[in-house]
Amino acid sequence: MEKLLIIILHFSLLISAISGSNVPSIYVFGDSLFDAGNNHYNKNCTAQADFPPYGSTFFHHPTGRFTNGRTVADFISRFIGFPFQQPFLEVQNEIKNGSTKGYPSNGLNFASAGSGVLRATNQDSGVTPIQVQLEQFRTLVGDGHISKFVIQQSLFLLESGSNDIFTYFDPFSTPTLTPDAYVGSMLLEVRKFIDQICKLGARRIAIFSLGPVGCVPARVLLPGTPVTKCYGKMNKMVKNYNQGLEGLVNGIPVKYPGAFGVFGEVYKTVQDFRANPRRYGFANVTDACCGDGILGGFLQCGKEGYTVCKNPNKYLFWDFFHPSEHTYKLIAKALWAGGHTRIRPLNLKTLANMNLPH
């Protein structure tokens, strides 16, 4: 078994070398912006996208991704030269039923749609918060399925927090914390996450900011929110959280010498798309392509009564909460090879190509 794992690892490193990357694997953590189908394999989870027309543009069938095609994590994987990372729970199922013997050499996707950085966020929907995602990864490491060398050389991606902030404005629950204190509690959980993956040996860490959550079509589900402009109170919380995230990223090499952290500026990137839609190939940057009601924000795509637009990739939003594949592709390109206004202090291509000592 050990010999087989070494052969698989060498093959993965060969693929990386051909693409000019020094990354053997990618480990993905977060929410629906990254989820490649984990929730589909979690039968206790009600946050699902495993029905048409999700996946219709690229895969031509639903995969559990909350968009019409590929996600940012999928594109980054392709830029490095890897197949897409499988959902962790899918691989677990395959190992249990005997259809596969080991874990993929190109990494794993632990992300769970609807989850947050706070354990309590959407807990009643059966989602997997980042603390449990990290525990799933840690168990694999402890059981010897992921070596220290692989951890040190791999790329770790995290994007989470949108659901925490959106649920803060839930009219059916009264927040016990002020917006600033709530954001502070979110950042504390991210700091713990970073500390734990760094202590496990992670050295290439990419933390992505939230996009402008106050602009999603689903804001119309919240009482008193504006329709003709974004929800300013929500975006203010997002910006405060993003600022704190960047501070945590900047602290990684100080606290963990030899580790590198990069901050993906997704918020300003998406706001640029909204301000200059034609430049980026968008015909609509306000409405959901798939949904119903005002802004297409009253109904999840695929639920009874939905309508779907003719050209999904002309829309910034695929459904009431999630971007289209075209949006994800543009974000991924910006994070992969963009300048300092898109990702800093290094872009993902530079981070992946760096020679880290063994």
Active site residues: 32, 319, 322
Alpha carbon of residue 216 to chain centroid: 16
Question: What residue type is assigned to position 331 of the chain?
Answer: I
Handedness of CA 295, 300, 303, 308 (dihedral sign): positive
The three-state (H, E, C) secondary structure of the chain, written as one string: CHHHHHHHHHHHHHHHHHCCCCCCCEEEEECCCCCCCCHHHCCCCCCCCCCCCCCCCCCCCCCCCCCCCCCHHHHHHHHHCCCCCCEHHHHHHHHHHCCCCCCCCCEEECCCCCCCCCCCCCHHHCCCCHHHHHHHHHHHHHCCCCCHHHHHHCEEEEECCHHHHHHHCCCCCCCCCCHHHHHHHHHHHHHHHHHHHHHHCCCEEEEECCCCHHHCHHHHHCCCCCCCCCCHHHHHHHHHHHHHHHHHHHHHHHHCCCCEEEEECHHHHHHHHHHCCHHHCCCEEEEECEECCHHHCCCCCCCCCCEECCCHHHEEECCCCCECHHHHHHHHHHHHHCCCCCEECCCHHHHHHCCCCC
User: What value, to the nearest 5°, has the Cα angle with vertex 236 and ends 347 and 194?
Assistant: 45
For the chain, the maximum distance between any two Cα atoms, rounded to a whole number of angstroms, is 61
